[in-house]
């Protein structure tokens, strides 16, 4: 099974950059999208069906903002929209598809970069998401959390850890949260296979950052420890340019 996570920063804009051609070529079994920034009546969902995908969309209440989706070749036995907390569900941050022996979540963690209010919202979300994920593991032990976490876990995951030490997304408390969250039963599947530096999934649009590879690794597949033996490979697909993020592939048995 090939699972891809991709923050597309606007599905309509991505489609305008031949996203559908890319999807046909890469052909994942499951595609987790974040920041779709649209509802399904605003673009051609039939194009996804033509490629063989069942599709499930969870847009934000606010137009042109946030939103997540899951596309999959196999029809899930259940799709869960949201986490039951209105403040988060109104922003369209979680959707989960349960298959016969595995569950895949597309998740979009809040950013705190716009100021103190959203940073506080992000920290509350992190605490609540931790509790939610731990509860979920009891009923869905084979769980993959795929999405934009808006956190660089370690210095190796950011191009300049010193100058970004006080930047949202690399704050000590965010990194500590990521460490303890992973240690409670998850595997950072990309780092399971890849230990090299300069591996990023997001670049600022400013100052030619992508061309210089001045990036951050903030998009993850965190898989529950129970499926470590099923992991085959994980690769950052940096050649895909439909967004300021790029996709990340996880392949499992």
Candidates 29, 47, 148, 219; catalytic one:
148
Q: Does the active-site annotation cover 116?
A: no
186-188 vs 78-81, strand pairing mode: unpaired
Q: Are 38 and 67 in contact (CB under 8 A)?
A: yes
- As annotated, the active-site residues are 148
């Amino acid at each position: 099974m090939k699972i891809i996570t991709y923050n597309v920063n606007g599905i309509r804009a991505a489609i305008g950059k031949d996203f559908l051609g890319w999807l046909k070529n890469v052909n994942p079994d499951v595609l987790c999208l974040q920041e779709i920034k649209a509802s399904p009546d605003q673009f051609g969902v039939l194009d996804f069906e033509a490629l063989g995908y069942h599709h499930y969309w969870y847009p934000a209440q606010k137009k042109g903002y946030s939103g997540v989706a899951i596309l999959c070749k196999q029809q899930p036995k259940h799709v869960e929209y949201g986490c039951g907390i209105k403040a988060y569900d109104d922003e369209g941050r979680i959707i989960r598809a349960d298959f016969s022996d595995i569950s895949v979540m597309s998740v979009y963690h809040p950013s705190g970069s716009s100021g103190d209010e959203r940073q506080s919202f992000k920290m509350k979300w992190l605490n609540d998401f931790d509790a939610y994920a731990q509860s979920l593991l009891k009923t869905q032990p084979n769980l993959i959390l795929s999405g934009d976490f808006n956190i660089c876990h370690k210095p190796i995951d950011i191009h300049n850890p010193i100058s970004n030490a006080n930047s949202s997304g690399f704050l000590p408390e965010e990194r500590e949260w990521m460490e303890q969250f992973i240690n409670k039963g998850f595997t950072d599947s990309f780092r399971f296979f890849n230990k090299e530096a300069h591996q990023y999934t997001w670049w600022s649009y400013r100052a030619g950052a992508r061309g210089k590879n001045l990036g951050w690794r903030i998009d993850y597949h965190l898989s529950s420890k129970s499926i470590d033996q099923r992991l085959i490979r994980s690769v950052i697909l940096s050649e895909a340019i439909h967004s300021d993020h790029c996709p990340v592939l996880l392949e499992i048995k």
